[in-house]
Structure 1
Amino acid sequence: MSRNKLIWGLLLWIPFIGVSGQNVTYRNFDSFEKETLRTLKESGATSTFNSMHNLKRQTLQTKANSIVPVTLKAANKKTISGEKLVAERSEGIFVVSRYAPKMVRDEQVVAGASAVVLSEDGICVSNYHVFEPVIDTTRVLTPLDSIFFVAAKSGKIYPITEVLSYNATSDLAIFKIDPKGDKLTVTPVGQDLPAGANIHALTHVYGHLFYYSKGVVARNLCTSELNADTNRSDITADYCKGSSGGPLFDDCGNLVGIVSTTQSIYYNEQSQTDLQMVVKTIIPISSVLRLLKQQ
């Protein structure tokens, strides 16, 4: 069985409204990284945003499992439709991106993964493996690792200012952005779900940003009953690479988990032929909450 982390690159969604009718809006998802690059350059962000090298130096002072004070949004109590969930939660789901300056290739924006807004002052959550290049002291950055930032569905961009906490076992990183005075769309936080419960994914599937899928919790599992950081849930809602750090919601639109990995199951494991199933595994919200302290 092969386990795959879900970072991808070279595509970033910036809104462009195409044809619409009967309250359905169609958007063009092609070549939006050029629009983001233009935004970065026109705003001067390529010289003012926190660099990955500086972020890595700052993160040397960050301790694993640090408890982060945060004002979380209370859970929504009413069931909402899938349409409403997508409409109301999308702006609180960021695309984690990197600016690569012109060297061998032309300068470009590289979209890597997802992050979820937890507070109005810019505290967010994503995967440890998304932030591993700036957390892991053994990883060496290159000149192409220039600026780490996030982009919202609206096309606004925000600098990542610091990594506040992380846990490699639970595959989580808590970080902060500078909202620049904007009112962020904060995601309400729910609870872990039992097996059989409905679950909704809204993630940046490779080449298909803000992709909605619905399924159920297939099972809850751990690799050590003595270590809650190993808790995971397998789900049937669909996602693939590009979805790292993406949110999972309950029927009320509350955050109940974070995407982590996929596991491909082949009939012939040795040759990896005859793919039969891809298991999607997420991190339950309880693991996120262990790194936070409600203010």
Structure 2
Amino acid sequence: MRHFLKPFFIVLILIATTVHGQELYKNNIHKYKVALKVEAGKLIDKGNVVSGDSLNTMFKEKGYNSIDVNLKSMKKKKLSPGKIYDLVSEAAVIVSPAGRSDEVNEEGEKSKKVNTYPASGYIIDSEGIVVTNYHVVSGFVYRKNTKARDVLVVMMKDGTIFPVKKVLSADKNNDLAILKIDPKGVELPALSVATKDAEIGDLAYIVSHPKGYFYAFSSGMVTDKFCELKIGGYRNIMAISADFAAGSSGAAIIDQFGNVMGTVTYTKTLQHSDDADKTQMVLKATIPASSLLKLIKEGN
């Protein structure tokens, strides 16, 4: 028994030493989830923020004019997937409603807990213009949200956080919203937007925050292009095979050159016709870049 345990402990020591010697990967909980709550709480306490009620006055389904955006020129040089991740992740942001909890503890003191519901977005103008989904913003401004209505925040990859100051434009039919933050003179990293829609078979990349896996990278291709009827009219949809999930709403879809070619909007689970509990496929739908450019240049 003594001879058996000795090599066993040696193996444990070797494993512990190997793990200890490795460089630790990012810790999503501490680097982003906790940091988002802490930094949002600081903004709320300072008080210079736009609440859900105030932002609601700027937010509507349609009726916006064109807006002035300093769009970057399209990139034309093919990039490796690693280079695409490096480029996109700097301009990809976390967009989240945040609010102090109304809960009261046993001592009668109000809780200091901050509620957040992180989604995705991306910067298209270095002076602080951010794109996300309409449904991400509506989840903040409408009063059915009772737990996180103090501020809508945008957090960068390095942890820098900004409160949203304005809604510049929005389009419920195309599930797009364009927001303004104040970078206080700092030039932010921004993505270029493709001026020509992608074709079926084109490569597609995405950096987003699915279910709290912040700054996750996925790749695939354009699998379909179709139009669908919504209450507000028809809209164009670009389906891709790159994975995304809840938390990815508002993320940029990127081509092989590093240009935005679409924006995440929804997923739809396709069931077997004879067995509703059997999933056959998940449709991953995005709004093509042409719809975003039309909103910017023409309004709605």
TM-score range, shorter chain: 0.7 to 0.9
In structure 2, do the counterparts of structure 1 residues 109 and 85 end up closer, same or farther at CA, with 3 Å as the change threshold?
Answer: farther
Match status 1:148 vs 2:148: no
Matches within 5 A, 1:17-166: 26-31=25-30, 32-42=32-42, 46-59=46-59, 64-104=63-103, 106-133=112-139, 139-140=143-144, 142=146, 144-166=148-170
In structure 2, do the counterparts of structure 1 residues 56 and 27 end up closer, same or farther at CA, with 3 Å as the change threshold?
Answer: same
TM-score, normalized by length of structure 1? 0.82
Q: Which runs of 5+ in 2 are unaligned?
A: 1-19, 104-110
Match status 1:183 vs 2:204: no
Match of 1:202 in 2: 207
User: Aligned to 2:225, which of 220, 225, 228?
Assistant: 220
1:198-227 CA distance string (max 9 Å, x none): 111111111211111111111110026xx9
Query: When you count strand as a share of all residues, which structure comes out higher?
Result: 1
Match of 2:13 in 1: none
User: Aligned to 2:277, which of 270, 273, 277?
Assistant: 273
Query: Quick one: distance in 2 between partners of 1:214 and 1:92?
Result: 18
Percent of residue pairs identical: 30
What is the CA-CA distance between 1:261 and the residue it aligns to? 0.6
SS at match of 2:162: strand
What is the CA-CA distance between 1:262 and the residue it aligns to? 0.4
Higher relative contact order (CA closer than 8 Å, sequence separation 6+) = 1
1:71-106 CA distance string (max 9 Å, x none): 101111100011111112112111011222132264
Q: CA RMSD in A?
A: 2.6
Structure number, greater radius of gyration = 2
Match of 1:254 in 2: 259
Q: Which runs of 5+ in 1 are unaligned?
A: 1-17
Q: Tell which deviates more after alignment, 41-50 or 152-161.
A: 41-50
Match of 1:245 in 2: 250
In structure 2, do the counterparts of structure 1 residues 183 and 277 end up closer, same or farther at CA, with 3 Å as the change threshold?
Answer: same
What is the CA-CA distance between 1:38 and the residue it aligns to? 3.0
Query: Quick one: distance in 1 between partners of 2:76 and 2:70?
Result: 18
Match of 1:11 in 2: none
In structure 2, do the counterparts of structure 1 residues 20 and 47 end up closer, same or farther at CA, with 3 Å as the change threshold?
Answer: farther
Contact 2:101 2:147 in 1 (8 A): no
In structure 2, do the counterparts of structure 1 residues 27 and 134 end up closer, same or farther at CA, with 3 Å as the change threshold?
Answer: closer
1:13-54 CA distance string (max 9 Å, x none): xxxxx9866xxx721112443323333445676511222221
- Code of the residue aligned with 1:116 in structure 2: it is Y
Query: When you count helix as a share of all residues, which structure comes out higher?
Result: 2
